Amino acid sequence: MTSKTNHLWGGRFNEPTDEFVKIFGASVAFDKTLALYDIEGSIAHATMLMEAKVLTSDELKKILKGLEQVKQEIISGEFTWSVDLEDVHMNIESRLTEICGEPGKKLHTGRSRNDQVATDIRLYLRDNVQRIQNELQKLLHALLDLAEQENETIMPGFTHLQAAQPISFGHHLLAYFEMFKRDKERLEDSFKRINTMPLGSAALAGTSYPINRERTAELLGFERISLNSLDAVSDRDFAIEFASNASLIMMHLSRFSEELILWSSAQFEFIALPDSFCTGSSIMPQKKNPDVPELVRGKTGRVNGNLIALLTLMKGQPLAYNKDNQEDKEPLFDSVETIYSCLHVFSEMMPTIKANKDNMYQSAIKGYTTATDLADYLVKKGLAFRDAHDVVGKAVAFGIKENKDLSEFTLNELKEFDTSIENDVFEVISLEGSIQSRNHIGGTSPEQILIAIKAGRKAIK
């Protein structure tokens, strides 16, 4: 072995790695994100090796002291990362050996970088799923608070982006609450698959050393242990599942962003976003651009792309570990940070949204949004629904011609379309009457919205 070969794995090689190949194959530029998790795993592994009498207690003390020094150097920024040492694991092990000598060389006993990195990623994702859950929780609370505040604010509900029926703004916000609640539930369910320990699988077949995997799992807080060493080192399903969940979260944020962008435009003016979440134009002094929701909408593409990247990465790999898996970290890290930042900015922005109640109300009137209510009224008077539908369609056509909403018709005008219509119809075809009538579970009546908000608070407590 020459000094030109990597001293951690160079025994087999007679010539140094090509300089470009060295840079091309190195992952330390991005996998150093896992450094503290790598040290955490090494502490548990070394402790288990001492208890299994593979290390002496004195060797363990030196290793733990050395790892603590490495940890502090990394945290303070004093640690020197080397491309020559390829990845985070070899950088840390090399520095540990410099600090504590021979015991540092023994740390890798009974493990491989294959099960080591798989463990590091799970520790990283375990922490970050909890961090993302916290932001989801904040957003869910913010949505409930705003929905309660806007419980009786009437707006048009849309299908095909056409005014359809009147709804409460609070009801509309609760639709997003349901989406993000499902996102939170999916992350919670995936946690048990993330929190499975592969350490002890070594390169692919396990190890001949007398290791105690249950003890290592206990030290690292893993709920379960992987049951097949081949699968354990090559499994990235848990990362793909997270990436899929992340794509769903971003899809929901993107839909919400699209509505905020529309609603804050001069053409809608349903809401006002605060200046602190918007920017201006370098040339048009009147502009106030909804940059936050636009950026969130735009970032959805990269998170979706990360999911496809991970699926494509894994689709052609034979068992067990392959160098391809070096490519799993950057898309995963990017999705984690993108999701976190988007949820954080949304949860901060939500309480600042101001509803323009009058514009919402007037927009609901313009779209003949109580037409279905009039049809339902006629059905209760004895008409078949299809006949009622035809009658109301003709009434709407008349209203368009006369530029009058249904609620502005006189009783005599309404009777021209059906003689069964009585004075009580005006309770039905008003916006307030329409939303009040939908007083059932999942409906838009203010009473049901308050019930839903109470249930929502209980569900996420």
Cα–Cα distance between 446 and 290 in angstroms, integer? 30
Residue 407's pLDDT is 87
Q: Tell me the pLDDT tens digit for each residue of 350-398.
A: 999 999 999 999 999 988 999 999 999 999 999 999 999 999 999 999 9
Confidence label for 284 from pLDDT (cuts 50, 70 and 90): confident
Confidence label for 3 from pLDDT (cuts 50, 70 and 90): very low
- Helix H, strand E, coil C: the string for the chain is CCCCCCCCCHHHCCCCCCHHHHHHHCCHHHHHHHHHHHHHHHHHHHHHHHHCCCCCHHHHHHHHHHHHHHHHHHHHCCCCCCHHHCCHHHHHHHHHHHHHCHHHHHCCCCCCHHHHHHHHHHHHHHHHHHHHHHHHHHHHHHHHHHHHHCCCCEEEEEECCEEEEEEEHHHHHHHHHHHHHHHHHHHHHHHHHHCEECCCCCCCCCCCCCCCHHHHHHHHCCCEECCCHHHHHHCCHHHHHHHHHHHHHHHHHHHHHHHHHHHCCCCCCCEECCHHHCECCCCCCCCCECHHHHHHHHHHHHHHHHHHHHHHHHHCCCCCCCHHHHHHHHHHHHHHHHHHHHHHHHHHHHHHCEECHHHHHHHHHHCCCCHHHHHHHHHHCCCCHHHHHHHHHHHHHHHHHHCCCHHHCCHHHHHCCCCCCCCCHHHHCCHHHHHHHCCCCCCCCHHHHHHHHHHHHHHCC
For residue 376, which amino acid is it?
D
Q: Is a pLDDT exceeding 90 seen at residue 281?
A: no
- CA angle, 419 as apex, 415 and 425 as ends, to 5°? 60
Mean pLDDT of the chain: 93
Contact (CB, 8 A) for 49 and 105: no
Residue 19's pLDDT is 78
Q: Tell me the pLDDT tens digit for each residue of 432-451.
A: 999 999 999 999 999 999 99
Mean pLDDT of all residues in 187-201: 97
Residue 10's pLDDT is 60
Range name among 24-28, 50-54, 59-63 with the lowest pLDDT average: 24-28
Q: Tell me the pLDDT tens digit for each residue of 396-417.
A: 999 999 998 888 899 999 999 9
> Of these residues, 3, 76, 160, 282, which one is catalytic?
160
Residue 9's pLDDT is 55
Q: Is a pLDDT exceeding 50 seen at residue 4?
A: no
Q: Is a pLDDT exceeding 60 seen at residue 6?
A: no
User: What is the value of pTM for the model shown?
Assistant: 0.91
Confidence label for 12 from pLDDT (cuts 50, 70 and 90): low
What b/e sequence results for 368-406 when a residue is b if at least 16 CB atoms lie within 10 Å of its CB, and e otherwise?
bbbbbbbbbbbeeeebeeeebbebbeebbebbeeeeebb
Confidence label for 2 from pLDDT (cuts 50, 70 and 90): very low
Cα–Cα distance between 87 and 92 in angstroms, integer? 9
Q: Tell me the pLDDT tens digit for each residue of 99-150.
A: 999 999 999 999 999 999 999 999 999 999 999 999 999 999 999 999 999 9
Cα–Cα distance between 51 and 312 in angstroms, integer? 41
Domains of the chain from N-terminus onward = 19-109 (1.10.275.10), 114-361 (1.20.200.10), 367-459 (1.10.40.30)
Residue 1's pLDDT is 29
Point out which residues pair with 279 in neighbouring strands.
289
Residue with tokens 């009786």: 152
Share of the chain above pLDDT 70, in %: 97
Specify whether 281 is catalytic.
Answer: yes
Confidence label for 289 from pLDDT (cuts 50, 70 and 90): confident
> Of these residues, 57, 82, 265, 281, which one is catalytic?
281
